[in-house]
Amino acid sequence: TVGAALEDEGRYEVATEFYEEAATVEPDSAVAWTNLGAARRKIGRYPEALRAYDAALAQQPDFVWALAGRGEVLRMLGRTEACLEPYQRALKIAPDHAFAVLGLAAALSELNRYAEALPMWERALQLRPNSGFASDGLAQCQEALARGR
């Protein structure tokens, strides 16, 4: 799509405008709202991204990308406890959704719940073996557990 091509070029502000228009034209489209949420998230417009994800979920409550995106935005807003539920819902629907696995692993680590985070980091690395974020997260989690945290 045009929006995805703009994002690939790093033109997130323009992509956001494109997705805003798409959501206006198709207000019942969970995909349009999710794309808008993702674009807003990528440029740090978290409250607006959250509203877009909520609009997507109002149309399709089990839309995995909207759930995972909502979880990520809540995490970015520092609402770490609140982000667990959308990540967990996403993973009940799609257990191998790498974005949700990574987000849940990070959130659990941020909450110092390392014993719960460890299998999530391991799963994240299985799903994304070249992810520096996953390998760093796993190493930090293992270190915290070794220190008895």
DSSP 97: -
For residues 3-8, average pLDDT: 87
Please give the share of the chain, as a percent, with pLDDT higher than 90: 89
Contact 59, 30 (CB under 8 A): yes
pLDDT computed for residue 74 by the predictor: 98
Where residue 105 falls among pLDDT bands split at 50, 70, 90?
very high
User: Residue 116: exposed, middle, or buried by beta-carbon count in 10 A (0-12, 13-18, 19+)?
Assistant: middle
User: Residue 96: exposed, middle, or buried by beta-carbon count in 10 A (0-12, 13-18, 19+)?
Assistant: exposed
pLDDT computed for residue 3 by the predictor: 86
CA 130 to chain centre: 18
Read off the amino acid at residue 92.
Answer: K
What b/e sequence results for 63-85 when a residue is b if at least 16 CB atoms lie within 10 Å of its CB, and e otherwise? bbbbbbbbbbbbbbeeebeebbe
Alpha carbon distance, N-terminus to C-terminus of the chain: 46
Distance CA 104, CA 68 (A): 9
Read off the amino acid at residue 9.
Answer: E
Q: What is the pLDDT of residues 17-43, one digit of tens each?
A: 999 999 999 999 999 999 999 999 999
Contact 71, 100 (CB under 8 A): yes
